[in-house]
Amino acid sequence: MFIGDWMGRGALYWPEQLAVVDVARGDAGRFTYRALNARCEALAAWLRDVAGVKRGDRVGLVAHNGVEYLDAFFACGKLGAIFVPYNWRLHAAELADLVRSVRPSVLLFGDDFRDAVAHVREHVVGGPRLVALESVGLPGADAYAAVLAHTSATPVSNPSVDAEDIVCLLFTGGTTGRSKGAQVSYRMVAWNTLNTLVHELRPGDVTLTHTPMFHTGGLLVYSVPLLTVGGTVVIMRRWEPEELLALIAREKVTFFFAVPTQYQQLLDSPRWRSTDFSSVRFMTSGGAPLPVPLLQAWQAVHAVPFKQGFGMTEFGPGIFSMGPEFAVSKAGSIGRPNYFVDAKLVDDHGSTVPVGAVGELWLKGPSMCSGYFEDEAATREAIGADGWLRTGDLASQDADGFFTIAGRKKDMFISGGENVYPLELESALYAHSAVQQCAVVGVPDAKWGEVGRAFVVLKPGQAASPEALLEHVRGRVARFKVPKQVELVERLPVSPAGKILKRELREAAIAAATRAKQESP
């Protein structure tokens, strides 16, 4: 069975079709499938011939978005090595810790991260061979330009590749603790691609990739699936609303993904109203429910269909999808499971909950990861003996089969003996016209055990007092659910994928309460 050499097949079927546009490189950043395959072949041959990388060895990368992510991913596929992209927002000590645990043979790095990589070289005994992607680099590091100039008389191939082999390690978002390396197999990538084709993609589509490519959102949601069917991936180095809007018209983008906070930023851009969206077939929102007022504000000017999706590092990432025809009638829903995905909701005893009730979301199917790298305990905790992945997400299902996320199991708090789901409160806050962004966390309370605390970012030029926001929520949810306090803030902490870091908010709120208690007479 042929599997693994995506770009070898791409160069065979669509050699002159535009595969990648690396925006930061300007005119030099436009690569056909033939050209991209040549880059991947050269890197794979250098890894094999010069660096001694073998099947199963790891190849790391720490850099901002760029074509190098695809070079490395596809080169590892040719060779049978395992691609390991690292979060560039990590502290140097955290990066060193992950490098020490994963033990890559080679580490490619962008110039912006040479100090962190220097720290790795100093503190990781027997560390990886270094390759500098740009001109400055570090003393002793190989130059990427020289790597790509490598030639070999022996093509790179991995004839013994199996669908269960691991092609990539992707670290979990780390919003609730230390990241774990999810093992992404060839089988997982192939079945996710098939799900994405069934529900969303067409050959020849053009997408924008702006989410970090060290996350599944940047690498596997649309980039790899689209490059499997001859489409074009436009890579933005980092998220820039103005640039994204300009690229839509310039590159004739047909679809893209963003989280609700990013759609709000696009709407707030001076360029938004005049942007030509005529090439766009749909836009996908994920990471959090798309507020109906935001949807309506878009539709009033640009009648582009909005799809809702849901995914995670350990599964898919294409798990649920919902067509634009349900965007209002099923507002807040993530849709129904994708074609080759099984989903169920269970209580704490593993029994299926009735329609309308909240339970933990369990998933099963061929697009599931193969556990966590060298972490059997975490793998056993996440994946049961029956093959179901326990996601830790709480959800409900309506009579039509549409699922709605209620929040993370760890985010739920108990106030006065009652379960409270922060996402319900956040949805109520988003219904206020002045709220641009919000998050609710549970904090300790002497009387009720835990109570909610809301953090709210107001829209520019809008005003609303904390009490007015609380009164707004009181009119929409049961009284015991209403947060005890609303704090107005200028911004919320977010991950590179655009998700709000509730753990940081909770820790800051608890620390502030502790200080206040200590300072009180």
pTM for the predicted model, two decimal places: 0.85
* pLDDT at residue 11 tops 80: yes
Helix (H) or strand (E) holding 73: helix 67-79
> Which tokens belong to 509?
């709120």
List the beta strands (DSSP E) in 91-216: 106-109, 129-132, 142-143, 166-171, 181-185, 206-209
Residue 207: pLDDT band with limits 50, 70, 90 = very high
Structural domain contains residue 462? yes
The C-alpha atoms of residue 183 and residue 166 are separated, in whole angstroms, by 6
Question: Which range of residues forms the domain containing residue 433?
Answer: 411-519
Is the pLDDT score of 332 beyond 90? no
* CATH number for 461: 3.30.300.30
Q: How many CB atoms lie within 10 A of CB 61?
A: 26
Name which of 156, 185, 167, 2 is nearest 79 in CA terms. Answer: 156
Q: Is residue 258 part of a domain?
A: no
Mean per-residue pLDDT, 43-68? 98
Alpha carbon distance 498, 496 (integer Å):
5
Greater pLDDT, 10 or 421: 10
> Which stretches does DSSP call E strand in 210-303?
232-235, 255-258, 282-285
pLDDT surpasses 70 at 521? no
DSSP SS3 for 363: strand
Q: Residue 174 above 80 pLDDT?
A: no
* Residue 491 is assigned to a structural domain of this protein: yes
- Is 511 a member of any domain? yes
Cβ atoms of 329 and 335 within 8 Å: the answer is no
Strand order in the sheet with 306-312: 30-32, 18-22, 232-235, 206-209, 255-258, 282-285, 306-312, 315-322, 336-337
Distance CA 244, CA 253 (A): 10
User: Rounded to 5, what percent of the chain is helix, strand, coil?
Assistant: 35, 25, 40
pLDDT recorded at residue 6:
96
148 domain residue, yes or no: no
Cα–Cα distance, 248 to 243 (Å, whole number): 9
Q: What is the pLDDT of residues 59-115, one digit of tens each?
A: 999 999 999 999 999 999 999 999 999 999 888 998 999 999 999 999 999 999 999
- DSSP annotation of 382 reads H
- What length is written for the chain? 521
Alpha-carbon span 52 to 156, nearest angstrom: 13
pLDDT band at 520 (very low <50, low <70, confident <90, very high): low
Q: How high is the pLDDT of residue 223?
A: 97
How many structural domains are present in the chain? 1
DSSP conformation class of 218: H
Asked whether residue 311 is domain-assigned, the answer is: no
Alpha helices in 153-221 (DSSP H): 186-199, 216-219
Amino acid 178: pLDDT: 62
Coil, strand, or helix at residue 450?
strand
Residue with tokens 């740009």: 134
> What φ, ψ does residue 347 adopt, rounded to 5°?
-90, -170
Within a domain: 433: yes
**Helix (H) or strand (E) segment spanning residue 485:** strand 485-488
Q: Which range among 314-323, 373-382, 399-408 shows the weakest confidence by mean pLDDT? A: 399-408
Q: What is the mean pLDDT of the segment spanning 472-482?
A: 91
Distance of alpha carbon 323 from alpha carbon 31, whole angstroms: 32
List strand residue ranges (DSSP E) for 123-180, in order: 129-132, 142-143, 166-171
506: in domain: yes
Question: 175 or 393: which carries more pLDDT confidence?
Answer: 393
Cβ atoms within 10 A of the Cβ of 440, count? 28
Residue 51 pLDDT exceeds 50: yes
CA gap 393, 389 in Å, rounded: 11
Q: What is the mean pLDDT of residues 374-385?
A: 94
pLDDT at 421 over 90: no
**Which pair of tokens denotes residue 389?**
């992945």
